[in-house]
C-alpha cells in the first residue's frame, strides 16, 4: 500500500485471520481505525485503495486467472438445460464483467443478473443482495442453488433461504460451513443433476 502513502503490510497469517471480514476495503478500514487519523483522511485512503485495487486486478491479475476445474462445464450444462444464471458477489461489477469478458466471453450474455459491490452488501446478515437477486429474477428460494466459496457468502445465501453448495478455496479451507448442503474442494466431480439432487432434495 506504499503507492497510496500507507505503511501497512499483512503477513499471510494476518491476512487469513481477517478473512471473516468481507472485502479488503473493510479490512483496511479496521487497520485505519488503529491509527490516529482524521475521518476525512481515512476516507481518502479508502477511495485511493479501492481505485488502485480495481485497476491492479483488471490490468495485472485478470489475464493470469484460470477458472477453477468444473466451472465452465457446469455453466455449459446449465445453459443447455435452460437453467437461468446470475452472479452475486462482493467484487465490483466492473471486475465481474471484465472477468466474464476475458474468461467466459462465449457465455457472458447468459448471465441475466450481475450484482456486485455497487448494488449492496452481499454479506449483510439478512442476505440482502441474494434477496435482491431473487426479486429481480422473480425466483423463489426453493428453486435456486447458490455456489459459494466462503463462510460469509454461505451465511448470506442461507439468510435468503437458498440452498447452497460450497466449494472452498485455499483461503477458506478449514471453515465450518455447517449450513451448506454440500462442501467439497472442487466442482470437477459434480454435474448439474448431482447438485440438484443434493441441494434441492
Alpha carbon of residue 107 to chain centroid? 19
Domain hosting 71: range is 67-199
52 with 83, same domain? no
Which residue in the block uniquely carries the three cell numbers 452475486?
88
**H-state helical runs in 86-184:** 93-103, 128-137, 151-159
What's the pLDDT score for residue 67?
92
What's the pLDDT tens digit per position in 49-91?
A: 777 776 666 676 777 788 999 999 999 999 999 999 999 998 8
Claim to verify: residue 23 and residue 47 sit in the same structural domain: yes
Helix axes 24-32, 39-56, angle to 10 degrees: 150
CA angle, corner 165, sides to 102 and 134, nearest 5?
75
The per-residue pLDDT for range 18-50, each reduced to its tens digit, is 777 767 777 878 778 777 777 787 787 787 777
Query: Could you tell me which residues come within 8 angstroms of residue 131 by beta carbon, excluding any fewer than 6 positions away?
Result: 160
**pTM (predicted TM-score):** 0.76
Mean pLDDT of 180-199: 97
> In this predicted structure, which of 58-67, 101-110, 173-182 has the lowest mean pLDDT?
58-67
The pLDDT of residue 61 is 72
Say if CB 22 and CB 90 are below 8 A apart: yes
Distances (CA, A) of 6 to 37, 124, 142: 12, 28, 46
The answer to whether residues 124 and 148 belong to one domain is: yes
The distance from CA 105 to its chain's CA centroid, rounded to whole angstroms, is 19
As for how many domains the chain has, the answer is: 2
Among candidate residues 30, 63, 96, the one where a domain is terminated = 63
**Can you name the residues that pair with 183 across neighbouring β-strands?**
166
Amino acid at each position: 500500500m506504499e503507492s497510496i502513502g500507507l505503511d501497512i503490510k499483512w503477513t499471510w497469517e494476518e491476512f487469513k485471520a481477517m478473512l471473516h471480514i468481507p472485502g479488503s476495503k473493510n479490512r483496511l478500514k479496521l487497520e485505519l481505525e488503529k491509527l490516529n487519523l482524521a475521518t476525512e483522511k481515512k476516507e481518502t485512503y479508502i477511495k485511493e485503495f479501492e481505485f488502485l485495487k480495481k485497476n491492479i486486478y483488471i490490468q495485472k491479475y485478470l489475464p493470469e486467472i484460470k477458472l477453477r476445474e468444473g466451472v465452465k462445464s457446469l455453466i455449459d450444462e446449465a445453459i443447455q438445460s435452460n437453467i437461468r444464471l446470475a452472479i452475486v458477489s462482493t467484487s465490483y461489477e466492473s471486475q465481474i464483467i471484465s472477468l466474464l469478458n476475458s474468461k467466459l466471453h462465449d457465455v457472458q450474455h447468459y448471465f441475466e443478473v450481475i450484482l456486485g459491490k455497487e448494488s449492496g452488501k452481499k454479506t449483510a446478515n439478512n442476505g440482502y443482495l441474494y434477496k435482491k437477486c431473487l426479486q429481480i429474477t422473480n425466483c423463489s428460494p426453493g428453486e435456486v442453488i447458490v455456489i459459494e466459496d466462503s463462510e460469509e457468502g454461505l451465511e448470506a445465501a442461507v439468510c435468503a433461504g437458498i440452498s447452497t453448495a460450497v466449494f472452498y478455496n485455499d483461503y477458506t479451507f478449514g471453515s465450518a460451513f455447517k449450513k451448506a448442503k454440500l462442501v467439497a474442494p472442487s466442482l470437477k466431480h459434480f454435474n448439474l443433476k448431482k447438485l440438484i439432487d443434493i441441494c434441492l432434495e
